Structure 1
């Protein structure tokens, strides 16, 4: 319309930031890297597209993080990390919509709508996001009965007759238990005849009278009228289709890495994860990676924290080596 009327669009006045280390992503890996880097007196800026804390901040409880009293709230743990990083001097810029990342050359750049960030080192800690439910109607009912975070949306289903959880790993089984705080009943729908969750999580689910399981089944279609009222599922062995009536559904079928911003610049494996060595170094000098976005076999908060520490230590060494030369 502005072009049609011959009106000049206002140019956004961008802010410019210079740092020693830029960290893209404010989850456990990114915040740990920020703690280590800023404590080493490196000018450190964390750029996060959402709210700092990542997936861990939306997890009801984390039961196996070292040094905690059995369990710790994900939000509490991440808030401690945020405050610790800030106490050492790290700047955290969250709710920043990143439009481009340039990893080439001696100075790396992150551009958001309102700011440009430059540094000789960047640590990529963008993590992963929930894999979408491959069922007809998922886009239309996302947020209208289809959810991916029980901690965020579970309270919407206070006294609901039934809530479906799709999946069979730790997240699915543990969050099913969390949802019984609100819903009268929770039905887990899983594609196999056994869970992949830890034995402890399985035992807790089996002991919960408000949880039932439908095995060997996959969702095929969302049923509803403006809001989800059920899911049509198919038994993968008999191919029989039935509708499970529910007030809402929470999906935990795995994660997909957030690598779209730099997939044409970095070495990425067939599953979309960034390839790096044990020192968190990618194939581009000065670019490190940490956390769930990295190609590895175990993805936990504890492993993300370890990645972040290694990435920051090696970032400091890289800068020192560059300075000596």
Structure 2
């Protein structure tokens, strides 16, 4: 049996953005419903040590943080639904969404916080050593490599920015790029080339990530020359894959304005081009992509949606009074 569920606010995604939106909306009495998606808790559920989320002096675990955020959202009145949305109709309010099992969700407002995922190389050792020397976020994990040797893989803005950022922690940063020129903006390239603690390995692709014996983490990367095929080994304590992110916005192609896959919102707000539809977190943020910024955007989305509903209710009441 399929069901139809209506809510004043439907939230897609249960990472920091979605759960923060749920907390604020629930406290406003909107009884939001959170559709958790394929990865309840978002990317933090596959992150081990978290040291940069405000309020915790000690290192905390990503999965624990998301469990606490969900528990807080449920405590103040948010509902959680385990489902994956496969179709959306934003042509009229209430908006209509369909889950993969056929359940239908209608909503007066919609908050999209489906997040984005880092692109990975897909080479040997990458998955096994994730969190054990292999990372996709220098801002998140760079601190753990203070005084150690690190490499960054990529050639775009993200890779160059991560390499520059890592010089705050390491005096031995190597950028590995499969071509002989970078795609990054010129000003970033100039800063990179001028930095004394960064070297570049051109025309090199990662063949495998190499772990140490036993429980030891990453000890190096095996490289292959893209021009000659020669194989070399580069010792390193940490490797940062920086080849871009892919926002989870396939459902909204042709339905919302996208910029390189990211949902476009009105500057300084969470408002999309469709009244009543809001976006928050990594799904709309191609620059920062941090748990704390996602949480802040979730708060913005809930407040924007609450104001939208209040205005809509006022207009409806006024129209009803005029018709009497």
Would you call these one fold, judging by a TM-score over 0.5? yes
Q: C-alpha separation between the residues in 1 aligned to 2:62 and 2:232?
A: 34
Partner of 1:89: 77
Q: What runs of 5+ residues in structure 2 fail to find an aligned partner?
A: 175-197, 210-220, 316-324
Partner of 2:40: 52
2:145–2:169 contact (8 Å) kept in structure 1:
no
Partner of 2:287: 297
The Cα shift of 1:295 comes to 4.2
1:171–1:252 contact (8 Å) kept in structure 2:
no
**Number of corresponding residues:** 271
The one of 140, 150, 169 aligned to 2:130: 150
TM-score under structure 2 normalisation?
0.71
Partner of 2:192: none
Q: What runs of 5+ residues in structure 1 fail to find an aligned partner?
A: 1-12, 155-162, 178-184, 207-212, 224-229
Q: C-alpha separation between the residues in 1 aligned to 2:128 and 2:108?
A: 36
Partner of 1:180: none
1:190–1:215 contact (8 Å) kept in structure 2:
no
- 1:214-253 → structure 2 map (5 Å cutoff): 215-216=200-201, 218-219=204-205, 221=207, 231-234=222-225, 241-244=230-233, 252-253=241-242
Partner of 1:127: 115
The Cα shift of 1:219 comes to 2.1
1:106–1:167 distance in 2 versus 1, CA, 3 Å: closer
CA RMSD of aligned residues (A): 3.6
The Cα shift of 1:233 comes to 2.9
Partner of 2:255: 265
Q: C-alpha separation between the residues in 2 aligned to 1:86 and 1:131?
A: 32
Q: C-alpha separation between the residues in 1 aligned to 2:73 and 2:110?
A: 17
The Cα shift of 1:61 comes to 2.1
Q: C-alpha separation between the residues in 2 aligned to 1:125 and 1:149?
A: 28
- 1:8-23 → structure 2 map (5 Å cutoff): 13-23=1-11
1:259–1:293 contact (8 Å) kept in structure 2:
yes
Q: C-alpha separation between the residues in 1 aligned to 2:41 and 2:136?
A: 24
Q: C-alpha separation between the residues in 2 aligned to 1:167 and 1:122?
A: 30
2:149–2:172 contact (8 Å) kept in structure 1:
no
Partner of 1:25: 13
Q: C-alpha separation between the residues in 1 aligned to 2:166 and 2:60?
A: 18
- 1:36-115 → structure 2 map (5 Å cutoff): 36-94=24-82, 96-114=83-101, 115=103
For 1:58-97, what per-residue CA distance to the aligned partner results, in whole angstroms no more than 9, with x for missing partners? Answer: 2222222222215332222211111100001111123x23
Q: C-alpha separation between the residues in 1 aligned to 2:34 and 2:112?
A: 10
Aligned to 1:19, what secondary structure does the other structure show? strand
Q: C-alpha separation between the residues in 2 aligned to 1:84 and 1:167?
A: 28
Q: C-alpha separation between the residues in 1 aligned to 2:149 and 2:9?
A: 45
Partner of 1:276: 265
The Cα shift of 1:172 comes to 6.6
The Cα shift of 1:310 comes to 0.6
The Cα shift of 1:309 comes to 0.4
Q: C-alpha separation between the residues in 2 aligned to 1:86 and 1:168?
A: 30
Q: C-alpha separation between the residues in 2 aligned to 1:260 and 1:66?
A: 32
